[in-house]
């Protein structure tokens, strides 16, 4: 061990602690922004918090050059620094995230090349000290058989909002209706102690706060979430109760923006959330609470373990081949790999950098449950023997600059990884009439909700949308994405003579930002069955006035509501029936 390597390890840990302190400070403002209905401030805070990791990484990487006296690229030093760093964080509350920060500094210094476990914590973690499952993060309420209403009221009071409830007595009544209808029948004959547990910190996202908890009695474990919204009168109300596992899973979906939740030790919250949603992977939960960089580390470990336990080959992903991306997967793997082609298939004529900027925009934007989150990797190594001959040939044909093969190793210089979904065009081939009606409703709603969030998908072909296991439609092809307010929605000009009417190319001037909604009907080319249902549900999307109205609303400062549950689940919806 050397003085320089010790200082390097200390500088990285100091950088991580500085990052986490600023991360916490931004997060601590979430409740105040919610109470003030400062929705634009909330959006800025999300973007600011996402940029913190890279900011601190750059500062620490620059310091590393100074500390090591110019020998920062000596990998032997990093092997020693890793050992010393491991000792420094041995009893750190957030050692696992601190490991990811160390990895990030190393990757920045070496441009993501030759990432080995001897130099980083890419695969290793402190296995002997599992994530903490502290009870100190919980508020607990004991049920004695007839105090359910008192517990519900105490839960709302313990949120400690600084603005009033619109009608707390009404909301308690709504919640008690659910308790009496759903919960009581399940525990009526239970002789075990019944306890309600809620996390002490609320989860903030978009224009809502969420109280997350569970009901426990012996082996019985029922998660629940109370979404809390603003009224029009600077007060708040409970919008519904989510208790179905699928509903709670959708709330924490890969297609939604990250939560802001005040937690000094994120692993404690992850442990509790994992008990509520055992089917979700740890990396999904870290990303959901706003730790996507550590989520990336956990995903890499997950992917390596999953690959080692599988014998399936990597193959070209099913569906129509993309014009911009080459997509591959394994049949038994729930994710796809997306590689930007060296040359795009006409009429696509944007640059590779433009595509990367589009994916970066999606990472920073409010995805609203309609755009898939991605993990971006550089110099990702694979076992070449696991690749089908067809896939190898396709990679070498379409993206030769991104592929390097050496012996049994195949290296991809740049790749996105995204959740696997059924392409909508393939889903439509086998769906029945009920499924068709539901998925076309979802397809139109996805387009509308993206637009309401100031996103225009650009290429809205059916193949660019996927269907999740919950039947939701999610957009995943981002190369033509842009803010809705950057578009100019126009009506198609009427031809003035036969020559114009028969013209193959537009006879009128078309600028890059021009969009003609009447042409959206072409997205259903070859599937008139789907088009008929879509037209009955969403024909307004063919009208320029619809899009222009949304643009006016956005420019006037309105931030759309994003409900991660169906309208029929809302208490007020039930009240109006």
Domain ranges of the chain: 3-109, 135-306, 310-420, 424-571
Beta carbons within 10 angstroms of residue 363's beta carbon: 18
pLDDT, mean over the chain: 93
Sign of CA dihedral 379, 383, 385, 389: negative
Known catalytic membership, residue 373: yes
Model pLDDT, residue 577:
31
Residues for the chain: how many in total?
A: 577
**Residue 378: CA count within 13 A, CB half-sphere:** 10
pLDDT in tens, 20-63: 999 999 999 999 999 999 999 999 999 999 999 999 999 999 99
pLDDT in tens, 517-557: 999 998 887 789 999 999 999 999 999 999 999 999 999 99
With residue 209 as reference, give the H or E element that holds it. Answer: strand 208-217
Model confidence at 515: pLDDT above 80: yes
**Token pair belonging to 179:** 């308790």
At 135, is the pLDDT very low, low, confident or very high (cuts 50, 70, 90)?
Answer: confident
**What contacts 552, CB < 8 A, 6 or more positions away?**
none
Q: What is the DSSP letter of 193?
A: -
Residue 457 among known ligand-binding residues: no
**Cβ distance 4 to 69 under 8 Å?**
yes
In the chain, % of residues over pLDDT 70:
97
**Cβ distance 212 to 204 under 8 Å?**
no
Q: Is 35 exposed, middle or buried (0-12, 13-18, 19+ CB in 10 A)?
A: middle
Question: Phi and psi (nearest 5°) for 568?
Answer: -65, -15
pLDDT in tens, 387-410: 999 999 999 999 999 999 999 999
Residue 372 among known ligand-binding residues: no
**Which residue(s) pair with 380 in the sheet?**
412
Residue 319 among known ligand-binding residues: yes
User: Using alpha carbons only, how large is the chain's radius of gyration in Å?
Assistant: 26
At 164, is the pLDDT very low, low, confident or very high (cuts 50, 70, 90)?
Answer: very high
Model pLDDT, residue 126:
52
Map tokens 């949603």 to a residue: 277
Model pLDDT, residue 146:
87
Rounded Cα distance between 277 and 321, Å, is: 34
Model pLDDT, residue 72:
85
The verdict on pTM exceeding 0.85 is: yes
Q: Which of helix, strand or coil describes residue 262?
A: coil
Model confidence at 189: pLDDT above 80: no
Residue 526 among known ligand-binding residues: no
Model confidence at 576: pLDDT above 50: no
pLDDT in tens, 249-299: 999 999 999 999 999 999 999 999 999 999 999 999 999 999 999 999 999
At 502, is the pLDDT very low, low, confident or very high (cuts 50, 70, 90)?
Answer: confident
Q: What is the DSSP letter of 335?
A: E
Catalytic residue (choose from 171, 239, 366, 373): 373
Model confidence at 487: pLDDT above 80: yes
pLDDT in tens, 1-27: 578 899 999 999 999 999 999 999 999
Residue 321 among known ligand-binding residues: yes
């Amino acid at each position: 061990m050397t003085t320089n390597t010790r200082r390097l390890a200390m500088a990285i840990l100091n950088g991580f602690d500085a990052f986490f302190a600023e991360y916490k400070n931004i997060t601590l403002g979430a409740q105040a922004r919610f109470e003030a209905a400062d929705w634009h401030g909330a959006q800025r805070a999300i973007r600011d918090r996402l940029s913190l990791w890279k900011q601190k990484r750059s500062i620490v990487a620059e310091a590393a050059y100074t500390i090591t006296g110019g020998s920062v690229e000596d990998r032997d030093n990093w092997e020693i620094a890793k050992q010393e760093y491991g000792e420094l964080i041995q009893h750190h509350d957030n050692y696992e995230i601190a490991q990811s920060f160390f990895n990030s500094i190393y990757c920045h210094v070496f441009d993501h090349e030759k990432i080995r476990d001897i130099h980083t914590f890419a695969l290793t973690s402190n296995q002997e000290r599992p994530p903490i499952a502290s009870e100190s993060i919980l508020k607990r309420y004991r049920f004695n058989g007839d105090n359910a209403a008192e517990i519900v009221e105490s839960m709302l009071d313990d949120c400690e909002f600084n603005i009033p409830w619109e009608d707390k007595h009404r909301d308690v009544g709504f919640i008690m209706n659910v308790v009496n209808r759903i919960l009581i029948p399940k525990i009526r004959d239970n002789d075990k102690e019944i306890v309600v547990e809620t996390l002490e910190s609320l989860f903030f996202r978009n224009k809502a706060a969420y109280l997350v908890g569970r009901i426990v009695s012996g082996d019985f474990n029922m998660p629940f979430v109370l979404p809390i919204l603003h009224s029009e009168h600077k007060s708040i109300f409970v919008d519904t109760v989510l208790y179905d596992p699928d509903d709670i899973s959708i709330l924490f979906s890969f297609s939604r923006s990250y939560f802001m939740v005040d937690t000094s030790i994120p692993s404690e919250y992850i442990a509790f959330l994992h008990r509520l949603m055992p089917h979700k992977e740890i990396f999904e939960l870290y990303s959901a609470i706003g730790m996507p960089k550590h989520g990336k580390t956990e995903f890499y470990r997950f992917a390596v373990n999953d690959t080692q336990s599988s014998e399936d080959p990597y193959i070209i992903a099913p569906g129509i081949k993309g014009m911009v991306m080459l997509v591959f997967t394994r049949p038994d793997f729930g994710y796809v790999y997306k590689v930007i082609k060296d040359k795009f298939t006409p009429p696509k004529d944007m640059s590779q950098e433009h595509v990367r900027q589009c994916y970066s925009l999606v990472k920073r934007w409010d995805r609203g449950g309609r755009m898939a989150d991605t993990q971006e990797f550089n110099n990702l190594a694979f076992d070449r023997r696991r690749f089908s001959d067809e896939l190898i040939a396709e990679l070498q044909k379409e993206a030769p600059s991104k592929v390097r093969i050496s012996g049994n190793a195949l290296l991809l210089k740049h790749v996105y990884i995204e959740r696997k979904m059924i392409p909508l065009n393939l889903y439509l081939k086998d769906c029945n009439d009920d499924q068709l009606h539901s998925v076309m409703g979802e397809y139109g709603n996805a387009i509308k909700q993206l637009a309401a969030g100031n996103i225009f998908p650009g290429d809205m072909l059916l193949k660019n949308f996927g269907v999740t296991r919950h039947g939701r439609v999610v957009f995943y092809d981002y190369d033509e994405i842009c803010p809705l307010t950057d578009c100019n929605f126009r009506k198609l000009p009427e031809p003035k003579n036969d020559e114009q009417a028969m013209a193959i190319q537009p006879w009128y001037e078309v600028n890059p930002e021009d969009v003609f909604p009447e042409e959206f009907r072409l997205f259903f080319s070859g599937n008139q069955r789907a088009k008929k249902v879509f037209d009955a549900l969403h024909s307004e999307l063919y009208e320029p006035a619809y899009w222009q109205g949304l643009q006016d609303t956005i420019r006037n400062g309105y931030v759309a509501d994003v409900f991660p549950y169906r309208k029929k689940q809302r208490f007020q919806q039930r009240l109006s029936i």
